[in-house]
Amino acid sequence: MISNVMFISAGVLSLLATWLIVVCMRSEDVGTQRNISLIVGASIICTLVAILELGFVGPTGLVLTLTTVAGFTILIVQNLYLLGIWQHGVRGLGLLLLPLTAIPLFLLPFLSELTSEHWVEPYSFLQTGHLLLSVVAYAILTIATLYAIMQLLLDHALKNKRLGFFMQAMPSLMDISNYLFVHVRWATWLLGLSIITGLTWQWVEIQHFALLSHKVLLALFAWLVLLTLNHMRKKAAWHHNRASKMVLFAYVALVLAYFGVKIIQSVH
């Protein structure tokens, strides 16, 4: 199956890019950055071909299954990382991000039993827009979560004066904090719009709000946590460790909202 080959190829390319980052970590050569970008770009193309082969785009909008949602999320994360390399040179993030994207890419071809049925096949523009906003918000929050993990690891290493190779490859704490805030801010806006469009779609299509559903409550909780973080930033109360842990809480809530209930229902 073409999609399986493409997913595995994308995973191999992600690991290859990781290896190149490790080998050339101390090199500032423009050619090295270009080669890493080309490999990540090739992985993006393979991921895109794979989800399109699975019928991600249907006649009435997006067809969402565990495989297509995961693949599309990885696709956005890969593109955000590539953009980060071009604009800020943050290729060190790839030491954490690329292997973490390679793992699901290798696993997706073997998830056919969980994805044999459509989770959602939208039938309106409003619903499609809501789903797109939700997935993009989740992908951006994924990047923010990786920065939060890097911040916690680097802060712990600095306090214990144990700076290994991986720690030395990371950006500074100040840079990580700035990148983290940028992604948190975008995730807050997109998640807020996702909640609004979701509630609007509920009212338009079924004439009532399902406010007490697991998905809505968990998404609202994640959004409130992110909103609090943005307020803390404006008030100069952005403590590194506390902020990172709050991002992790918001991310876990969003994972449970988007995937948790669906996975349990699919298994049963």
CA 211, 217, 221: angle at the middle one, nearest 5? 135
For residue 163, is pLDDT > 60? yes
| DSSP secondary structure, 51-116, as one string | HHHTT-EETTEE-B-HHHHHHHHHHHHHHHHHHHHHHH--GGGHHHHHHHHHHHHHHGGG-TTTTS
pLDDT: is 55 or 267 the higher one? 55
Give residue 190's pLDDT band: very low, low, confident or very high (50, 70, 90): very high
For residue 179, is pLDDT > 90? no
Give residue 260's pLDDT band: very low, low, confident or very high (50, 70, 90): low
**What is d(CA 268, CA 260) in angstroms, rounded to the nearest whole number?**
13
pLDDT: is 225 or 86 the higher one? 225
**What is d(CA 102, CA 74) in angstroms, rounded to the nearest whole number?**
9
The pLDDT value given to residue 28: 60
pTM to 2 decimals?
0.81
For residue 226, is pLDDT > 70? yes
Please write the tens of the pLDDT for every residue from 80-99.
Answer: 888 888 776 666 778 888 99
Provide mean pLDDT across the span 162-172. Answer: 70
List, in order, residues 6 or more apart from 222 with CB less than 8 Å away. Answer: 141, 191, 250, 251, 253, 254, 257
Give residue 1's pLDDT band: very low, low, confident or very high (50, 70, 90): confident
pLDDT: is 91 or 130 the higher one? 130
Inter-residue contact 171 to 179 (CB < 8 Å): yes
Residue 62, beta-bridge partner list: 57
Provide mean pLDDT across the span 124-150. Answer: 85
167: its two tokens: 């720690």
CA 213 from centroid of its chain's CA atoms: 23
The pLDDT value given to residue 176: 82
Inter-residue contact 105 to 75 (CB < 8 Å): no
The pLDDT value given to residue 165: 65
Inter-residue contact 78 to 43 (CB < 8 Å): yes
